[in-house]
């Protein structure tokens, strides 16, 4: 969608991608919601794409190479299109049994050569419901993986091994709130093309989620003091693995970018609040995940009580948690955290206490909320790239009837969620997007608080007077399903990873999508390398300030805009 006020707009919608992100999906809208989507070469933005959705060169693997030595033992991967690929490398020990709810421990060393050619297990999690929705399932084609508590593993894509080169390292944290997802869930997460395009090392990780990663049992004994944040401590352990081993994979441990989308973006935010993560990463990218506020201990304790009640456990029987099969643990957790829809549009700025599972602001592992202007120096010195998508959780996937909305439908739905501000919000969105369909305009209003949270985060970062912040807005509309998915939650990831051809059911494939992928992936790569996303394929992208609120709009024509939607943001923030 073009941001020019007179430009014709492609359709928006109400049901967006990954139904696995059901927690965010159920909270993104409330009372008036009709449908929801669920809750991605050195500066090569202007170069011809090097992506290849299918292998053009032979996939190479044998008993002797490629092999890399880690501090735990040797691993063997394979070569695809010139990129060395290693999957399922353990960085942490099994988290089941007596290790359940405990801080992670390093994986046990091995003496034989370890084959690392297939993704490892992912954390147990609720069943995804996206397969029930035909269009959504066609677009996302999830890989649910193999669940298990021995899930602390990671994947590496690199152009070179054992070559003494110092390539930038990009560590991906998957979405799904803090409840679901994995490093292999979506095709867009594949790191081969990004590694090739940017001559960077790409790493993705699995870690504990939901009840296994964030059950706060601290009131039940000192041994559980960190239990509410062990999922985040898993990520810290993975970053320590990167620090200690990535040089042999051709990477620079002194130039590490953490980036994530949705819940993965929230994890990036939380890492900036963890003393144990200091020095392990040097840049941060937050994609549709400005979940800056962690849960309060009081809120977390309420969830713990509800969970233990499901299992008929109390202080005297708490140790039995280690013996209960994980499937029963997960089933009880699902019941204990069934979300209740709030009465109005969700305020994305303060989502922590509304999520079933999330990090806990315990003052020890997580010491403050993300990007507070008073944040410690460890966060001030980290450059930030942050942004959102135009339509986020509100699309018309699986609902073609939404495309027939009238202005009366728009008025009715906005009135339900913001009765005092309805007329002003509709007027503001029509001024910004006069040619949009009524449902598109509803989608933009309903998604505005997600962008508002990113703006607030950038303002806080700028106020800290440290490293710079850069803000983006992804507005491109995929030419699939009559345009009904719009710029949905997750839409940008295929472009981030330069995987638009691999993910053609999301993007439509073709030269238009590839041209934008060159620009987006080029910006991410350049930011990882330098802390600044500007590259020759884009117009000048100014640093964000509270005065200019400069936003790079990613569309067929990319443009930096100042104070783009101030009026609409002001109206929505009053709800």
Catalytic residue among 282, 489, 521, 535: 489
Per-residue pLDDT at 49 = 43
Per-residue pLDDT at 123 = 98
Ranges 34-43, 327-336, 382-391: which has the least confidence? 34-43
384-to-50, 62, 297 alpha-carbon distances in Å: 27, 41, 28
Tokens of 434: 């006069």
Contacts of residue 100, defined as CB under 8 A and 6 or more positions apart, other chains included, come to 149, 212, 321, 322
Q: Residue 245 CB: number of other CB atoms within 10 A?
A: 21
pLDDT higher than 90, residue 32: no
pTM comes to: 0.90
Q: Residue 418 CB: number of other CB atoms within 10 A?
A: 23
What DSSP designation does 289 have?
-
Residue-wise pLDDT for 93-118, tens only, equals 999 999 999 999 999 999 999 999 99
Strand order in 283-287's β-sheet?
78-80, 83-90, 153-158, 201-205, 167-173, 251-261, 283-287, 384-389, 469-474, 551-554, 559-561
* Alpha-carbon gap, residue 492 to 193, rounded angstroms: 15
Tokens of 478: 């995929």
Q: Residue 308 CB: number of other CB atoms within 10 A?
A: 20
Residue-wise pLDDT for 67-96, tens only, equals 999 999 999 999 999 999 999 999 999 999
Per-residue pLDDT at 8 = 33
pLDDT higher than 90, residue 139: yes
Per-residue pLDDT at 346 = 62
Residue-wise pLDDT for 225-267, tens only, equals 999 999 999 999 999 999 999 999 999 999 999 999 999 999 9
Smallest CA-to-CA distance from 211 within 90, 298, 336, 324 is with 336
The whole-chain average pLDDT of the chain stands at: 88
Residue-wise pLDDT for 499-512, tens only, equals 999 999 999 999 99
Kindly state the percentage of the chain with pLDDT values over 90.
78
Is 207 designated active site? no
Contacts of residue 51, defined as CB under 8 A and 6 or more positions apart, other chains included, come to 193, 196, 197, 498, 499, 500, 501, 502, 514, 517
In sequence order, the β-bridge partners of residue 386 are: 286, 471
Per-residue pLDDT at 58 = 65
Q: Residue 15 CB: number of other CB atoms within 10 A?
A: 26
Q: What is the mean pLDDT of residues 460-478?
A: 94
Residue-wise pLDDT for 182-215, tens only, equals 999 999 999 999 999 999 999 999 999 999 999 9
Per-residue pLDDT at 146 = 93
Is 129 designated active site? no
Which residue carries 């965010």 as its tokens?
Answer: 24
Band of residue 129 on the pLDDT scale cut at 50, 70, 90: low
The burial of 441, by beta-carbon neighbours within 10 Å (0-12 exposed, 13-18 middle, 19 or more buried), is given as buried
Residue-wise pLDDT for 323-342, tens only, equals 999 999 999 999 998 865 55
Residue 370 near residue 295, CB atoms below 8 Å: no
pLDDT higher than 70, residue 20: no
Domains within the chain, CATH numbers bracketed: 22-58+134-141+161-293+341-573 (3.40.50.1820)
Band of residue 464 on the pLDDT scale cut at 50, 70, 90: confident
Kindly state the percentage of the chain with pLDDT values over 70.
85
∠ Cα 220 222 225 (to 5°): 90
Per-residue pLDDT at 352 = 56
* Alpha-carbon gap, residue 398 to 395, rounded angstroms: 9
Catalytic residue among 392, 413, 447, 492: 392
Is 42 designated active site? no
Locate the DSSP E strands across 113-166. Answer: 114-115, 153-158
Catalytic residue among 262, 290, 448, 494: 262
Per-residue pLDDT at 19 = 42
Residue 270 near residue 360, CB atoms below 8 Å: no
């Amino acid at each position: 969608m073009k941001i020019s006020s007179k430009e014709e707009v492609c359709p928006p919608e109400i049901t967006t991608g990954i139904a696995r992100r059901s927690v965010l999906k159920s909270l993104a809208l409330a009372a008036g919601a009709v449908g929801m989507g669920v809750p991605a070469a050195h500066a090569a933005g202007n170069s011809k794409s090097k992506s290849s959705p299918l292998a053009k060169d032979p996939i190479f693997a044998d008993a002797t190479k490629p092999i890399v030595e880690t501090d735990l033992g040797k691993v063997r991967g394979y070569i695809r299109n010139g990129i060395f690929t290693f999957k399922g490398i353990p960085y942490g020990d099994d988290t089941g049994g007596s290790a359940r709810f405990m801080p992670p421990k390093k994986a046990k060393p091995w003496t034989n050569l370890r084959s690392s050619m297939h993704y490892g297990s992912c954390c147990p999690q609720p069943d995804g419901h996206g397969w029930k929705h035909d269009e959504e399932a066609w677009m996302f084609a999830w890989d649910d993986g193999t669940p298990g508590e021995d899930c602390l593993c990671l994947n590496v894509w690199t152009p070179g091994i054992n070559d003494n080169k110092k390539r930038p390292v990009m560590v991906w944290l998957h979405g799904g709130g803090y409840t679901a997802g994995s490093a292999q869930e979506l095709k867009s997460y594949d790191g081969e093309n990004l590694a090739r395009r940017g001559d960077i090392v790409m790493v993705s990780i699995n870690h504990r989620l939901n009840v296994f990663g964030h059950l706060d049992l601290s009131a039940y004994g000192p041994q559980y003091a960190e239990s509410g944040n062990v999922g985040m401590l898993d990520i810290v352990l993975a970053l320590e693995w990167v620090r200690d081993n990535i040089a042999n994979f051709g990477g620079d441990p002194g130039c590490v970018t953490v980036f994530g989308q949705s819940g993965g973006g929230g994890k990036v935010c939380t890492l900036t609040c963890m003393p144990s993560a200091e020095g392990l990463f040097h840049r941060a990218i937050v994609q549709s995940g400005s979940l800056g506020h962690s849960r309060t201990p009081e809120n977390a304790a309420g969830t713990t009580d509800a969970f233990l009640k499901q299992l008929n456990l109390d202080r005297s029987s708490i140790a039995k948690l280690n013996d209960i099969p994980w499937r029963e643990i997960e089933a009880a957790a699902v019941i204990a955290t069934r979300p209740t829809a709030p009465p109005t549009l969700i305020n994305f700025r303060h989502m922590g206490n509304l999520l079933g599972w999330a990090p806990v602001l315990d003052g020890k592992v997580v010491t403050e909320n993300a990007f507070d202007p008073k944040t410690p120096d460890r966060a001030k010195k980290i450059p930030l790239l942050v942004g959102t998508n135009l339509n986020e959780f509100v699309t018309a996937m699986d609902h073609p009837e939404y495309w027939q909305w009238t202005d009366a439908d728009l008025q009715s739905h906005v009135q339900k969620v913001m009765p005092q501000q309805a007329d002003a919000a509709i007027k503001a969105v029509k001024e910004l997007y006069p040619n949009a369909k009524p449902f598109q305009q509803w989608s933009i209003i309903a998604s505005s608080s997600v962008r508002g949270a990113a703006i607030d985060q950038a303002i806080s970062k700028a106020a800290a007077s440290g490293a710079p912040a850069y803000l983006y807005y992804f507005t491109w509309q995929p030419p699939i399903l009559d345009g009904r998915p719009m710029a949905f939650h997750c839409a940008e990831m295929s472009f981030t990873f330069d995987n638009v051809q691999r993910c053609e059911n999301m993007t439509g494939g073709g030269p238009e999508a590839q041209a934008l992928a060159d620009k987006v992936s080029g910006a991410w790569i350049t930011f990882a390398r330098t802390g600044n996303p500007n590259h020759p394929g884009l117009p000048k992208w100014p640093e964000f300030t509270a005065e200019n609120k400069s936003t790079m709009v990613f569309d067929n024509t990319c443009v930096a805009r100042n104070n783009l939607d101030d009026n609409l943001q002001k109206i929505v923030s009053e709800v």
